[in-house]
Structure 1
Amino acid sequence: MTTRTVFVGHDGSPAARAALVWALDYAAAVGAGVRVVRAWSMSSAPRPASMTGGYVPPIEDFEAAVLEDLRRDVASVVAGSPVEVEYVAHHGSIAEELVREAGADDLIVVGTRGSVDEHCVRHAACPVTVIRGD
């Protein structure tokens, strides 16, 4: 079986960092791309630059702010990697998004975060690798 895409859930935690490091190494070894996914909600998203005074910007501005934070959070890990990396911000559950997006020829890599890794292991159509943090 050839892995097409390695999906990595990333929430900014040390466990997520460890998962991304492992995923990049694995993807480089098998010639796969990596898709780093961050879930968000209105209460967890950073404030977009367009949010001023009483103006609430469109949801796309929140998503862009999440993507900007994600890229900044992983920049030092991804720098120098030969692997093609894609960034995705998903409004909702990270576990459900990883399971929904990953196909049978993909791989999901997550850090140990309790419900997320358990949900992926139980419901994914593809292999799941759980990486312990520090």
Structure 2
Amino acid sequence: MSTRQIVVGVDGSQGGRRAFAWALEQAAATGATVQAVLAWWGDNPNTPPADRHTDRESAQQTLDREVQSQPARHGVSVAAEVVEGKAADVLAAAAQSADLLVLGSHGHSRVHHTILGSVSEACIAKAPCPVVVIPVPGAPHPAAEPVPVTSETASR
């Protein structure tokens, strides 16, 4: 019997934290392991090697901070990895042997692409396993202002 694996995208955002927490809870409930993956992309070939090294170190620090901030779940093994590349490509590749890929959404707009997030959308298309997208709770909507109804507006 093989060990179940959950891959989770971690990026330091609220959505990433919620996805990580959900993945850990799911792993605890199912006996799975968790692979936390942070993708970073140094897409400018003119970037000096020292800056690229700093970017990678910053990504590693973010991942370490996120892993340490999650409460330990009894029996859940967590591995963490920083990978250079475009997030959707890195996460889809990491999920090749996974049972589940977990991501956080942005939740900022009504536009589908923005709600889901371009990385989530691309991962859904590329991942070889089921993808769970954990929503970020939206800002509370202000109460609607009452609109006075007059005989003129009522007849429209």
- Aligned 1:117-128 pairs, distance under 5 A: 117-128=120-131
Normalization by structure 1: what TM-score? Answer: 0.77
Q: Give the match for residue 69 of structure 1.
A: 62
- Aligned 1:1-134 pairs, distance under 5 A: 4-42=4-42, 56-57=49-50, 62-77=55-70, 79-82=71-74, 83-103=76-96, 105-113=98-106, 114-134=117-137
Q: Once the two structures are superposed, what CA deviation does each residue of 1:38-87 show, in whole Å capped at 9, x if it has no partner? A: 111348xxxxxxxxxxx95385664344222211133221x322211111
Unaligned runs of 5+ in 2: 107-116, 138-156
Higher relative contact order (CA 8 A, sep 6+): 1
Secondary structure in structure 1 of the residue aligned to 2:17: helix
Change beyond 3 A, Cα 1:3–1:95: farther
Distance (Å, rounded) in 1 between the aligned partners of 2:57 and 2:36: 14
Unaligned runs of 5+ in 1: 44-54
CA RMSD of aligned residues (A): 2.5
Deviation at 1:125, TM superposition (A): 0.8
Secondary structure in structure 2 of the residue aligned to 1:57: helix
Higher-Rg member (1/2): 2
Change beyond 3 A, Cα 1:72–1:105: closer
Normalization by structure 2: what TM-score? Answer: 0.67
Give aligned-pair identity as a percent.
38
Distance (Å, rounded) in 1 between the aligned partners of 2:51 and 2:24: 33
